[in-house]
Structure 1
Amino acid sequence: MTEKNESLNEQPVAEFVPQHDFGNAAERTRRNLNAKLSNPLAGYSHAELRKQGRVFALNHEIGDEEDIRAFELGAVLAQAPERFASIEALTAQEKAILLHEVEHRWSQPKKLYLVIVLCSLSAAVQGMDETTINGAQLWYKHQFGIADDSARSTWILGLITSAPYLCCAFIGCWLTVPFNQWFGRRGTIFITCAFSALSVFWSGFASEWWNLFLSRFALGFGIGPKSATVPIYAAETVPPSIRGALVMQWQMWTAFGIMLGYVADLAFYQITDPSMIVGLNWRFMMGSALIPAVIVLTFVFSCPESPRWYMSQNQYYRAYESMCSLRHHKIQAARDMFYMHTLLEAEKSMKLGQNGVTELIKVPRNRRAMIASQILMFMQQLCGVNVIAYYSSAIFMDANLSAVSSMLVSFGWGVINWLFSIPAIYTIDTFGRRNLLLVTFPLMALAMFFTGFSFWISEDHNARITCIVLGTYLFGMVYSPGAGSVPFTYSAEAYPLYVRPHGMALATATTWFFNFILGITWPAMQSAFTAEGAFAFYAGWNLVGWWLVLLFMPETKNKTLEELDQVFSVPTKFHAQYGLRQIPYFMKRYVLRKDVKPEVLYEREAVGPVQEDLGYNA
C-alpha cells in the first residue's frame, strides 16, 4: 500500500473499494460477503454507542461502575479510534494515554511482552527441533548402515530427516482446530511443547533407523499445531500498529532456534562413547532440543489467554481481565474488546463459520486470503531454504570441508539467518509484506544459481568452497527478512476470526508438506541432478514465486484484522491486472527516473447502513 492509502486510515466510517468500477454500491456489497464486518459500528451516534457499551457490560456482568463507564466510552472509541481527541467525555489523563498509544507504539504492558517471550521461546523450540539433525546425521547414518549411495540408503536418510513434517502435513496441523477449541491457545502451546520434549528425548535413545524415524514422526505432533497456534496467539493479543513486527517474531526466533541447533551440534561433537553406548555425541545433539521446550512448559500459564478465544467461548469477564492485562488502561481494553464483540456478533448474524473448511473455499474473501496464504507457504519451502537448513553440513563436506569445519560453517549460516531476520521487525510494517517478497525473491534466485554453479569450480581450487559458502550465506541474508518472515505473519492475519484456525491449519499443513518433500527428496535429487542442477531447480522456483506474489498477494500492512476484509474484497483478476501495471510503473519511476504517480488500487468511499442482502455472489 502507498502512503496515500495509509493516510486514508484516518477516515473511520468508510469502506476500501477499488478504483475500478465494479458497479453500484449494492453490487459491490454483494461482491464481498464480509462487507458487514468492515465497520459494524458505522452510522451510530455517540449516545447510541454509549448505550450499547453499557448494555454489553451489564449483560455480561463485567466489573463495576468504573468498568461500565469504560465500556460506554470504549464503544465510542471503537467506531473511530483515531478521533479520541474529539470525545469530550474522556478525561485529560485518558486522552494522554490514547495519544501515548499512537506516538509510542512500542510502549506496551509487561504482560504483553511476556506473551512475546512465550511465543519467541516456542519458536526457538521449533528451530532446534528442525536442525539438531543437521550434524547428527553425519554419525547415525553410519551407525544404522545407511551411509552408502544406494537408493535404499538415500531414501531412508531423507525419510528420517523429513519424518516430522510428514506427520505435520497429514495429522499434526489438523489437530490445530480441536486443540484450540478444547484447550485454548496457551493449552495448545503447553501440549505441543510437551510432545516436542518427549519425542526428542525418545530420539536420543533410538537403536535402529526405524526407531529414530518413529520418534521423529512423533515430533510432528508438537511442531504442527504449535506452528499454527503461536502466530494466531500473537496476532490476537497485540495492537494493530505492531502486529506485523510481533507476529513475525515467530520466524525470527525460529531462526534463533535453528542457530541453537547448530550450536548443540558443535557443543557435543567431541563427546566420545563410553562402554555400552554407541553414538553418544549425536544422541546428545538430538536430545538437546528438550531444554527450550521444558522452559516453555514452566511459564506458559503465567501468560494471559487470548481475549478473542475467551469471547468465542462466551467467557466475557475472563476476556476482559485478559485484555486489561494486555493494555495500559481499561478504556483501551474496553474499546478493543467491544469491537471484537461486535464483529463476533456480525459473524453469528451472518451464520458464518458453520463449516470452516467449506467457508475457506466458498466465501470469495476467504478464498482470496487462502490463495495468497497458500502461495506464500508453498514458496517458503520451494525457495529451497530447508535444503540448506537440514543438509548444509553434508553439502559442505561434499565440497571437501572436514566434518567439524562443515558444522562451523553451518553455524555461521544459522547466525546469518537469525541476524538478518531482525530488520524485518521494522520493515514488515513499514516497507510492507508484499514489497519485501518482490525485492527478495529475485535475489534468492541469484544466490541459488551462484551456489549451484560454484560446484563447477575445480575441487583443487580454494575458490570452490569459498563461493559455495558465500552463495548459501547470501541466500540466508535475503531469505530471512522476506520469505522467512512474511508467510506465517501474513497467514495469521489474513483470515477472519471464524475461520482463522482452519486457515492456519491449512497454511501450516501446506508448508510442512512441502518441507517434507524437500527433506525426503534432496539426497536423491542431489544424486540424480548433481548439486549444480539441484540448486538451479530451486533458483527457478524463486522466479516463479516473484510472479505469484506480484499477481495474487494483496498488501496487508498496518491494517486491523477486521480492515483486511475490505482489502480482500478486490476480485482476483483486478488485483492481477494491477500487479502487471506495476512493472511499467517501476521501470518509469526507478529506471527511467520519470516523475510518475503510483496507482492507488484502493480508495475510500463513504457507505450507508450495511446491506443485509449478502449472498455468495462475490
Structure 2
Amino acid sequence: MIGVWVSDPLNNLLGRRGLIFVTGLGLIATPLGMAFTRTWGQLLAVRLLMGIPYGAKAATVSVYAAEIAPTAIRGAITIGWQLWVTFGIFIGMAANVIVKDVPRIAWRLQLGSAFIPSVPLIFLVWLVPESPRWLMKKGRYDAAFAAFCRLRRSPLLAARDMYYSHVLYEEEVALAQGTTYWSRLTDLFRVPRIRRASLGAFTTMIGQQLCGINVISFYSSTVFREGGYTNDQALYASLGFGALNFAFCIPALFLVDTFGRRSLLLSTFPFMTLFLLLTGLAFLLPDSQQSTRTSLVAAFIYIYTVFYSVGEGPIAFLYPAEVFPTVHREQGMAWGVWANNFFAALLGLTFPSLLRGLSPVGAFCLYAGLNTLALSWVWCFVPETKGLTLEEIDQVFSVPTRHFIHYETTQWLPWWFRRYVLFDRKAQLVPLLDWETDREANAQRRSAA
C-alpha cells in the first residue's frame, strides 16, 4: 500500500519502463531475501519491503499497457496483466504441490521461487517503446511520435493519435488545479469528472475483494479441508482452482473489446452470487454425505471461478488504467490499487475469524451478499468504455452520475428487455452521448482557446 503512492514520483522520474525495471530488481531481491531469513521478524520485514516494488509495479503496468494500445484492442492488451497474474497464481499452487513432501525447506523454496518471473522482465522491458503519452508530458515530442510510429500501423495513424492526445492533455493541464503531487491527488475527489472516474475505479477494484476471490485464493486449502478434503486432496483441489482461474481469463481477451467492460461485469456478478450461495449451502450436507458435499463444494467454487475469470478478474485493473485523464492517470491508478490492496489485506486477515464465527455456510452466504452489493455499485458508477479512445472516455465521465443512472434505468434497461427478452431485433437504443455534437462543441472550445 506504500508502494502505490511512490509510483507517481517514480513514474515522473524514471518513466513507465524505468519504473518497471527498478521494481523488477526489487522483486528479484526480496523473494530471495525471504528464502534466506532465519527468524519470523526477518521474514516479516522482507515481506513488507517487497510490498513497495509490488505496489509501484501494480500501479504502473496496466497504465502503460492502456497508454500504448490501439483503441480497438486496448482491453485485451491491458488485461494481459491479469492473465499473467493468474498464471503466476497457478504456478505458485503447482509449486505447493511439488514441494509438499520436501522436509524442512519447502517454505523456503515456495517463497524464493517468486523471483523467477522478474528475471526475463528486467530484460524484455527495454525491447518495448516508452509510453508516448508520458513522453509528451515531458515535452519530448519527437520521441513520442517515434513511439507512436512503433505502436501504430502507419505514421498517419500515429500522427492522429498524437494530435488527439496532445490537445486533450493541454486542456487537462489548463483545467487542473495544479500539477504538483498533492494537487493532483486532491483533484481525484475535488473535480467532478475525475471524482466520477475515481468512483468507477474504486468500484471495480473493491468489487474484486467483495466478490471473495482473494479470500478463496488465500485460503483455498482451508476452504477445501472444511469441505471434507484431506490435506493432499485440498492442495490438488487448489491447483484446479488456479488452473481454471488462468484458463478462463483467456476468453476475456476476446470478449472485453466486443462485449464490453460494463456488460461483462453486469452479466457475471449475478452468477458469482448464485454459486457462492450454493457453495455455502453445500456445507450444510451432513457427514454421512461427505463425498457429495466435497464434490459440490469443489464444483460450485470452480464454476464461480469461471465467471470471475471472464468478468471482475481482468476488468478490475483494466478499468482504472483507462478512465483517468493523462495528468491524473498515475495518481488515479495508485488510488485504485491502494483500495484493492487495503481491502485484500483487511478481508484476508479477518476471514479465519469469520470462518470460525459464522461457519463456512455463513461466510459464503455473506460473500454472496457482498457480490450483490458490488453488482449494484457497478450499475450506478461504472460506465462503458469499450471502443472509446482514452480521450473520448473523458466525455463519458463528464456526464453527472444521476443522469447516467437515469439513462441506464429509463433507456438502456427497457432496450435490453425488448432486445434480449422479447427478442425485438428492431429495438433501438438512444445513445448516452451525441458524439458528433460533442466533437463540434469541443472543436469550437479549442478554437476559442
Bin of the TM-score, shorter chain as denominator length:
over 0.9
Q: TM-score, normalised by structure 2?
A: 0.93
* CA distances 1:205-231 after superposition (whole Å, capped 9, x unpaired): 333333322222122112211111001
- Matched with 1:512 is 341
Distance 1:199 1:342 in 2: 42
Q: Which amino acid aligns with 1:457?
A: L
The 1:203/1:459 distance shift into structure 2, 3 A limit, reads farther
Tell me, yes or no, if structure 1 residue 383 matches structure 2 residue 217: no
What pairs with 1:43-62 in structure 2 (closer than 5 Å)?
Answer: none
* CA distances 1:305-345 after superposition (whole Å, capped 9, x unpaired): 11111121122222233223223433333332233233333
Tell me, yes or no, if structure 1 residue 398 matches structure 2 residue 226: yes
Tell me, yes or no, if structure 1 residue 338 matches structure 2 residue 167: no
Higher helix share: 2
2:23 to 192, 209, 217: 192
- Matched with 2:262 is 434
| Residue range with higher mean Cα deviation, 372-381 or 602-611 | 602-611
% same residue: 39
**SS where residue 580 of structure 1 aligns?**
helix
| Residue range with higher mean Cα deviation, 560-569 or 191-200 | 191-200
Distance 1:297 1:587 in 2: 50
Does the 8 Å contact 2:193/2:398 carry over to 1?
yes
Q: CA RMSD in A?
A: 2.0
Does the 8 Å contact 2:228/2:293 carry over to 1?
no
Q: Which amino acid aligns with 2:421?
A: V
Distance 1:410 1:374 in 2: 29
Q: Which amino acid aligns with 1:221?
A: I
**SS where residue 434 of structure 2 aligns?**
strand
**SS where residue 429 of structure 1 aligns?**
coil
Deviation, 1:349, is 4.1
1:240 to 49, 58, 71: 71
Tell me, yes or no, if structure 1 residue 591 matches structure 2 residue 415: no
Does the 8 Å contact 1:196/1:222 carry over to 2?
yes
- Matched with 1:153 is none
Tell me, yes or no, if structure 1 residue 559 matches structure 2 residue 388: yes
- Matched with 2:271 is 443
Deviation, 1:593, is 4.5
Deviation, 1:350, is 4.1
Q: Which amino acid aligns with 2:109?
A: F
Q: TM-score, normalised by structure 1?
A: 0.68
Distance 2:65 2:446 in 1: 33
What pairs with 1:497-536 in structure 2 (closer than 5 Å)?
Answer: 497-536=326-365
What pairs with 1:146-165 in structure 2 (closer than 5 Å)?
Answer: none
- Matched with 1:224 is 55
1:280 to 83, 102, 105: 105
**SS where residue 270 of structure 1 aligns?**
coil
Distance 1:547 1:312 in 2: 37
Q: Which amino acid aligns with 2:79?
A: M
- Matched with 1:610 is 444
**SS where residue 311 of structure 1 aligns?**
helix
Distance 1:342 1:596 in 2: 37
Distance 1:612 1:298 in 2: 42
- Matched with 1:455 is 283
- Matched with 2:137 is 312
What pairs with 1:158-173 in structure 2 (closer than 5 Å)?
Answer: 168=1, 171-173=2-4
- Matched with 2:199 is 371
The 1:529/1:613 distance shift into structure 2, 3 A limit, reads farther
- Matched with 1:161 is none
Tell me, yes or no, if structure 1 residue 268 matches structure 2 residue 96: no
* CA distances 1:187-246 after superposition (whole Å, capped 9, x unpaired): 111122222222211222333333322222122112211111001111111111111111
Deviation, 1:281, is 1.0
Deviation, 1:390, is 0.8
Deviation, 1:547, is 1.3
Distance 1:612 1:317 in 2: 23
Distance 1:348 1:457 in 2: 61
Distance 1:484 1:227 in 2: 14
Tell me, yes or no, if structure 1 residue 294 matches structure 2 residue 116: no
| Residue range with higher mean Cα deviation, 405-414 or 596-605 | 596-605
Q: Which amino acid aligns with 1:520?
A: L
Distance 1:593 1:341 in 2: 44
* CA distances 1:545-591 after superposition (whole Å, capped 9, x unpaired): 11111122111000000011111121110111122234444444433
Does the 8 Å contact 1:551/1:580 carry over to 2?
no
Residues paired across the two proteins, number: 439
Q: Which amino acid aligns with 1:548?
A: W
Does the 8 Å contact 2:24/2:119 carry over to 1?
yes
Distance 2:106 2:176 in 1: 57
Deviation, 1:475, is 1.0
Q: Which amino acid aligns with 2:86?
A: A
Does the 8 Å contact 2:164/2:391 carry over to 1?
no
**SS where residue 555 of structure 1 aligns?**
coil
- Matched with 1:490 is 319
Deviation, 1:542, is 0.7
The 1:215/1:305 distance shift into structure 2, 3 A limit, reads same
* CA distances 1:583-607 after superposition (whole Å, capped 9, x unpaired): 4444444334456433432223433
- Matched with 1:324 is 149
**SS where residue 389 of structure 2 aligns?**
coil
Deviation, 1:253, is 1.5
